[in-house]
Amino acid sequence: MRRTLLASLLIGFSMIPLMVSFAGAQTNFYEGKTVVLVIGAKGAGSLIAATQIVSHHLGKYIPGKPAVIVQEMPGAAHMLATNHVFNVAKPDGLTILAANPQVAVAQLAKVEQVRFDVRKFHWLGSSGPDGVALSVRTDLPYKNFEDIRKADHDLIVGTTGPGSNAHDFPLLLKEFAGAKFKLVSGYPSNGDVQLALQRKEVDVWAALATTIKLAMDQGIVRAVVRGRVATPGFENLPVDEDLATSPLGKSIMGIRGLPLAIGRAFAVPPATPADRLTLLREALAKVLKDPEFLAEGKKAKIDFQYISAEQALKDFTALLNQTPEVLKEMGKYIKLEG
């Protein structure tokens, strides 16, 4: 017994230099290097702002304190950047994808240009889910969704085009929940729709709840319906899936809402060494608890909430696990955005 204990201790102590050298190797690996967060968008937007804030803090939690920068690689609704990180970027732990989980819908829809598999990415976790909400101009008499159902004419919904929250969310409410909507699509951005609301060109607008909240604060709109993810302040609104009048509608709304529940996820290419993957996952988890980071998020009015890598992968797997019938029906309503 004593001999076994002694042997265990000896083996244990002999591992210490190995562990130290392992940690040292990782410290040395990242020291003086630059980690690049690749994002498939450019310009303004809460995803870019959230990624900038994460990049500002990530480096200090990775051993060796590497510099962390954001590289914008816009194109094809984030698919260019996703393809790039999956296929081209070296799996060395220096390139991280700041993903838009909607790309999984492209994979689900078997879009020809998809050259990735979201289930094979190594996910680091997510910096929080995105809630979506539908709102109506405050000068109109529609106080809740029931009023919209009973409206004597179609309300004009301004959208940024198929594939966007602004378009798909009201479209599904129109098709499966009896909302009296006429969709006017093609506005270049959500800012343009908001402007159209102010000049009374459109009546209804759907977007990320954080964006709607800013317009609510200015008295432009009132929110009436939300998606599955409850952003603080929107908890008491009815959920779109509960308003659906058919099981099919409910499932399609559910599929559409899943990427939003995953939110602002980060991933590294397949074949990234396991030790670096662990370091990056731990670093992201620590960033999400950093008080300074959270203060910057609060200032930017972005709600951060840590979602683990396991949870992100579980949600992606669930999203891709659909029956052919549901997929066929879904294809009629949900398209990709460019």
Partner 1 sequence: MFDALIDGLFLVLQWKAFSLMMVGMGLGFVVGLLPGIGGPATLALMLPFIFKMSPAEAFAFLLGMHSVAATTGDITSVLFGVPGEGLSAATVLDGHPMAKKGEAGRALGAALMSSLVGALIGAVFLALAVPIVRPLVLSFGSPELFMLSIVGISCITSLSGLGTQGQIRGFAMGLLGLLLASIGQERQSGSLRFDMGLMYLWDGLDLIPVLVGIFAIPEVVDLAVRGTAIAGDRPAEDLQKGVIEGIKDTFRHFWLVFRCSAIGVFVGIMPGAGGGVAQWMAYAHAVQSAKNSKEREGFGKGDIRGVLGPGAANNSKEGGELIPTIAFGVPGGGAMAILLGGFLIMGIVPGPDMLTKHLAITFSMVWTLVISNIICVILCLGILNHLAKITYVRGGLIVPFVLFLVFVGSYTANNQIADLIVTFIFGFLGYLMVLLGWPRPPLVLGFVLGKLIETYLFISMTRYGFSWLTHPIVMFLILLVALVIAYPYIQDRRLRSRDVADA
CB of 277 to partner 1, least distance (A): 24
Give the x-and-dash track for 64-103 against partner 1 (CB under 8 A): -----xxxxxxxxx-xx--x--------------------
Residues 202-261 that bind partner 1 (CB under 8 A): 202, 214, 217-218
Of residues 24 and 74, the one with the C-beta less far from partner 1: 74
Is residue 198 a contact partner of residue 97, using CB atoms and an 8 Å limit? no
Query: CB 132 → partner 1: shortest distance, Å?
Result: 18
Q: How far is the CB of 276 from partner 1 (least distance, A)?
A: 23
Nearer to partner 1, 63 or 161 (CB): 161
Structure tokens at 307: 């979602």
**If binding means CB under 8 A, how many residues of this protein chain bind partner 1?**
57
Does the protein bind partner 1 through residue 196 (CB under 8 A)?
Answer: yes
Q: Which of 4, 199, 235, 332 binds partner 1 (CB under 8 A)?
A: 199
Tokens of 327: 């997929």
User: How far is Cα 246 from Cα 251, in angstroms, rounded to an integer?
Assistant: 9
Side-by-side strand order, sheet with 132-137:
181-185, 155-159, 204-208, 132-137, 221-226
Q: Which of 27, 185, 311, 322 binds partner 1 (CB under 8 A)?
A: 185
Query: Contact letters (x/-) for partner 1, 39-58, by CB under 8 A?
Result: ---xxxxx-xx--xx-xx--
Which residues are 182's β-sheet partners? 156
| Range 300-319, binding partner 1 (CB under 8 A) | 300-302
Summarize as ranges the residues that interact with partner 1 (CB under 8 A).
42-46, 48-49, 52-53, 55-56, 69-77, 79-80, 83, 112-113, 156, 160-163, 184-189, 191-192, 194-196, 198-199, 201-202, 214, 217-218, 296, 299-302, 335-338
